[in-house]
Chains A and B, each alone.
Chain A
Amino acid sequence: MTAEPTQQDPTQHPTQDAVDSGASRGLSTQPRPPGPFGQRRAERIDRLAELAATPPDERGESLTRETFKRLRRSPMAIAGSVVIAIFVVIALVGPLLTPPPAWLSFLPLYGPTAEVGLDQIRPGHIPGNSADHWFGLDHLGRDVLSRMLFGARTTLLVGVVATMIGFTVGAAIGGLAGAANALGGRVGRWLDTTLMRGIDMLLAMPPLLLAFSVAAVLGRSLLAVMIAVGVAAVPFFARLLRGSMIAQAHRDYVLAASSLGVRRPQIVLGHVLPNSLAPVIVQATLTLATAIIEAAGLSFLGLGNPDSRTPEWGTMLAQAQNQLSVRPELAIYPAVAIIITALGFTLLGEAMREALDPKLRR
């Protein structure tokens, strides 16, 4: 009978949990979700939560500050930021230029639904790019460039709103579960288990399938697309924030705060939560990329926004299918735009994740 695991590090809780390698590093001791898909994804999310829990290095700089320093040096982050910046500018300015104001009327841009070139469309023939229509015309004689510019706004809107829905709902569930698990006693752990088993069920489903199901139930509208894509992102945020919070709850400053009598709600909101958000914000950037792709996917499969007044890249891609043999460019433009935008968010998100990873630090 030995007393050896009592306190190598006297400030650390010599708990069951701390001895357990999983819980002390912020991982769940609960069973993993079923299925190979859910499991692999769950592991990646947990890894991200774990990263942010690693104490700052010996220079004593805060994690956020250190991360930004590294981001500034990373070509990946810079490239991603530039792409995102261009995309956002187009999304904001584009709708103002279609149709352009009087002083810019020399630009060959039109309203997104103006069928300006309808007379040039014949069966089996759609004119390509010209001085009047830089990206050509679509099957209804509408200017493709104008629709692309306008569509940028819709795409950004869908991406941001869907991510916000996923973030808000996911963070609420995950935050509640994390707080309940870390500081809530017996009832708290029960609540945590209940919430997280529900989340695991969602996580076991491929996100695109989940989005399809939700969109199919909600019907065809822009809002439905946003909600569908947002719901698909909920389990990621929930699991990430929960793991991150549990990891933080075992840190010394939480013990120090409770040793000074600080109440548990204040510890959760004032100490644990602010320290747990970094990985969730990284995940939000990555989710923006997948949200844009998933929204385009929904539109492509006909579950998207039916309103032609607000063109959306995914819808444009779907409509271009029928003209693929006549005018393949109609599909190529929105496809390339989706790819570049998603790449931008992925680059920035991955760069942020790497910057947060102490194992990659030099």
Chain B
Amino acid sequence: MQVEAYDGPLLEVSDLSVTFRRRGQRDVHAVTGVSFTVEAGEVVGLVGESGCGKSVTALAITGLLPPRGVEVTGSARFAGAELLTMDPKQRRDLRGRDIAMVFQDPISSLNPVVPIGVQVAEVLIRHRHQSRTVAQREAAQLLDRVGIPDPNRRLKEYPHQLSGGMRQRALIAMAIACQPRLLIADEPTTALDVTIQAQILELLKELVRELNTALIMITHDLGVVAGMCDRINVLYAGKVVETAARRPLFAAPHHPYTVGLLNSIPRLDAPRGERLHPIPGSVRDLLPWPEGCAYAPRCTRRVEQCLAGTPELIPAPDGRNYRCVNPDLERAGVPA
């Protein structure tokens, strides 16, 4: 591709909307007007509860949403090339080579009846047009690179013979096989236990630094984001409600939803016996955006004005944007 001369952002998503249409049922607006950019080598977080549109955003960008019953509008430009209208064949060439994804559940994302080595080599054969033997050799190096001990033995093993952490490492190996310029990690640590989570995050950080890959981190865990992301987009009900660089976001979250997410993380330094602080209600209790702020029904800072139509994204001096008519400005200084 003739993208070398391009000097804009690596990925520029603007006004992306995804609507699921079903005959006889109301349309589901999974994502509405989401915009963000990712620079080369940057780590960007997409944060929010289950059902807020994080994964759908990622699937829409990569063109992995099923063609039936889904309407995707807006634009997603990868190195200047529009992904949403791209020819599916061309997009398939791009996937795995320039854009790769790591999924949440490593056991179901690996084919149970195909050895690990074959699955890793498959990507190399597909995009690098390598022979089977060369691809297998490189697959061993890749497994070694992602910290799987004794890679030559592991190549011949099946997914069920690996531990959860190793499976996720193998998936990451598949994703970085062609040194993609953009890696999308969709809740890569959710299915793993805490110690392994830390290792996988460390591995991702390392890879991003070494390969100069941009990373989109999709997670509901602000703890994950705090350690990794340069810029964070908080999503609620398919819209960005706050976007900020890491420090300002954690130092002074403006949107009550971000505040709620931060408060709901259990703290080790809290007094013993103190209750956790969940956000009341669930994502299902939302208001349709056109009628007001979708978060209003769960919000502790709700005012009359919240129900007067969709709040605009308000830019703040520190480079952040937030979508709230009654932001939590006094809370500046909340410890992250």
- A: residues with CB less than 8 A from B are 1-11, 13-17, 19, 55-56, 60-65, 185, 251-253, 255-263, 266, 270-271, 274-275
From the candidates A2, A10, A62, A271, name the one contacting B50 in the complex (CB within 8 A): A10
Determine the chain B residues whose CB is within 8 A of the CB of A62 once the complex forms.
112-113, 158, 160
In the complex, B292 has a CB within 8 A of chain A: no
In the complex, B20 has a CB within 8 A of chain A: yes
Q: Are A56 and B101 in contact (CB under 8 A)?
A: no
**A-B complex: 6 closest residue pairs judged by Cβ atoms:** A261-B96, A10-B55, A260-B96, A261-B95, A1-B288, A16-B69
In the complex, B131 has a CB within 8 A of chain A: no
Q: Are B238 and A252 in contact (CB under 8 A)?
A: no
User: Could you show 16 A-B contacts with beta carbons less than 8 Å apart?
Assistant: A1-B288, A2-B284, A2-B286, A5-B20, A6-B30, A7-B30, A15-B69, A17-B66, A55-B107, A56-B112, A60-B107, A64-B113, A252-B108, A253-B110, A258-B95, A260-B100
Q: Are B30 and A3 in contact (CB under 8 A)?
A: yes
In the complex, B127 has a CB within 8 A of chain A: yes
| Stretch of B21-29, B145-153, B306-314, B318-326 contacting A (4+ beta carbons < 8 Å) | B21-29
The answer for the CA separation of A258 and B95 in the assembled complex, in Å, is 8
Determine the chain A residues whose CB is within 8 A of the CB of B56 once the complex forms.
6-7, 14
Q: Are B55 and A251 in contact (CB under 8 A)?
A: no
Max chain B C-beta neighbours (<10 A), residue from A14, A255, A258: A14
Closest chain A residue, CB of each to CB of B162: A60
In the complex, B39 has a CB within 8 A of chain A: no
Q: Are B187 and A10 in contact (CB under 8 A)?
A: yes
Q: Are A256 and B286 in contact (CB under 8 A)?
A: no
Determine the chain A residues whose CB is within 8 A of the CB of B42 once the complex forms.
none
Determine the chain B residues whose CB is within 8 A of the CB of A1 once the complex forms.
26-29, 288
CB distance from A361 to the nearest CB of B (A): 16
CB distance from B285 to the nearest CB of A (A): 9
CB distance from A59 to the nearest CB of B (A): 8
Q: Are A3 and B238 in contact (CB under 8 A)?
A: yes
User: Which B42-56 residues sit within 8 Å CB-CB of chain A?
Assistant: 50-56
Determine the chain B residues whose CB is within 8 A of the CB of A4 once the complex forms.
28, 51, 283-284
Determine the chain A residues whose CB is within 8 A of the CB of B110 once the complex forms.
253, 256
- B: residues with CB less than 8 A from A are 20, 22, 26-30, 50-56, 59, 62, 64-70, 92-97, 100-101, 103-105, 107-114, 122-123, 126-127, 158-160, 171, 174-175, 177, 186-187, 218, 237-238, 283-284, 286, 288
**Given A14-B30, A255-B103, 6 other A-B contacts at CB below 8 A?**
A4-B28, A15-B65, A15-B66, A56-B160, A60-B160, A260-B95
Determine the chain B residues whose CB is within 8 A of the CB of A56 once the complex forms.
107, 112, 160
CB distance from A24 to the nearest CB of B (A): 12
The answer for the CA separation of A9 and B53 in the assembled complex, in Å, is 11
Determine the chain B residues whose CB is within 8 A of the CB of A14 once the complex forms.
20, 30, 56
Known A56-B112, A263-B126, A275-B111; judge A2-B28 contact (CB<8 A).
yes
Q: Are B103 and A259 in contact (CB under 8 A)?
A: yes
The answer for the CA separation of A17 and B59 in the assembled complex, in Å, is 16
Q: Are B122 and A6 in contact (CB under 8 A)?
A: no
Determine the chain A residues whose CB is within 8 A of the CB of B126 once the complex forms.
260-263, 266
The answer for the CA separation of A8 and B127 in the assembled complex, in Å, is 32
Q: Are B111 and A259 in contact (CB under 8 A)?
A: no
Closest chain A residue, CB of each to CB of B285: A2
The answer for the CA separation of A254 and B150 in the assembled complex, in Å, is 27
Determine the chain B residues whose CB is within 8 A of the CB of A275 once the complex forms.
111-113
Known A7-B54, A252-B108; judge A260-B158 contact (CB<8 A).
no
CB distance from A70 to the nearest CB of B (A): 16
Determine the chain A residues whose CB is within 8 A of the CB of B160 once the complex forms.
56, 60-62, 65
The answer for the CA separation of A65 and B171 in the assembled complex, in Å, is 23
The answer for the CA separation of A60 and B218 in the assembled complex, in Å, is 25
CB distance from A51 to the nearest CB of B (A): 15
Q: Are B64 and A259 in contact (CB under 8 A)?
A: yes
Determine the chain B residues whose CB is within 8 A of the CB of A252 once the complex forms.
103, 105, 108-109
